[in-house]
Structure 1
């Protein structure tokens, strides 16, 4: 397991300027999509959180990994047709432009899922 960064800035500092720029673009996109979310480091990766972690993202050897859990991958299957996906992860190759609108749409979808889950929890208590 890689060392755990103390901050998102520290995590970004581990990578080349080109990769840092991509990570920062994702960060900026997520802040605009879900402005109420808190940034955290979880599982050694940058993530955004409301009542739960919504999405993680990380620089990998040949791609950016975007980790929104499995349901958005099913929900956005058509939009993700050009990407390698598996349970809970979308691989965005470094040589491709970042799909920032899709990244934003998935984060918003996850926020809605978290809100529904929170409301259901409140109803049960």
Structure 2
């Protein structure tokens, strides 16, 4: 949708209001949970970095949105991801079936622990 965006705001500005609101919800939730994040673009996707590493990516496409919390987080919480299509690195969701706040928080906590454990 916004493949050529050079900033998170530019990416979000290109989205329809409903998708933008959903990605803004995720961004705000992660930023509240981990206040020391830095918003940037990486691989053409809005990214929140923590301690210099990508903590999460989030994107919107025509048919779904995706949340990338890390393969560790997806594997750790696989049983709670049944209602969503997943890949090794991403969870796909829609406006009709969004990711609950508690699930996003738990996925982020798993990845924060992984980053902290790496000592970076």
TM-score norm. by structure 2 comes to 0.90
> Structure 1 residue 6: deviation in Å?
2.2
Q: Deviation of residue 37 (structure 1)?
A: 1.2
* Structure-2 separation of matches of 1:3 and 1:47: 14
Q: Which of 1 and 2 has greater Rg?
A: 1
Per the alignment, residue 55 of structure 2 pairs with 54
Contact 2:3/2:44 (<8 A) preserved = yes
Encode CA deviations 1:73-107: one digit per residue, 9 max, x unaligned: 11001111111111111001222233222112211
Normalising by structure 1, report the TM-score.
0.87
Secondary structure, aligned partner of 2:47: strand
Q: Secondary structure at the match of 1:78?
A: helix
Question: What is the CA–CA distance in structure 1 between the aligned matches of 2:3 and 2:61, rounded to whole Å?
Answer: 14
| Structure 1 consecutive aligned stretches of length 4 or more whose deviation exceeds 4 Å | none
Aligned to 1:64: 65
For 1:3 and 1:74, the matched residues in 2 are separated by 28
Q: Which residue of 2 aligns with 1:23?
A: 23
Q: Which runs of 5+ in 2 are unaligned?
A: none
Separation of aligned partners in 1, 2:81 and 2:29:
18
How far residue 59 of structure 1 moved from its aligned partner, in angstroms, is 0.5
Partner SS state of residue 4, structure 1: coil
Q: Which runs of 5+ in 1 are unaligned?
A: 120-125
Counterpart of 2:7 in structure 1 is: 7
CA-CA distance at 1:33 after TM superposition: 1.2
Partner of 1:109: 110
Task: From the superposition, tell whether residues 12 and 97 of structure 1 become closer, same or farther in structure 2 (CA, over 3 Å).
Answer: same
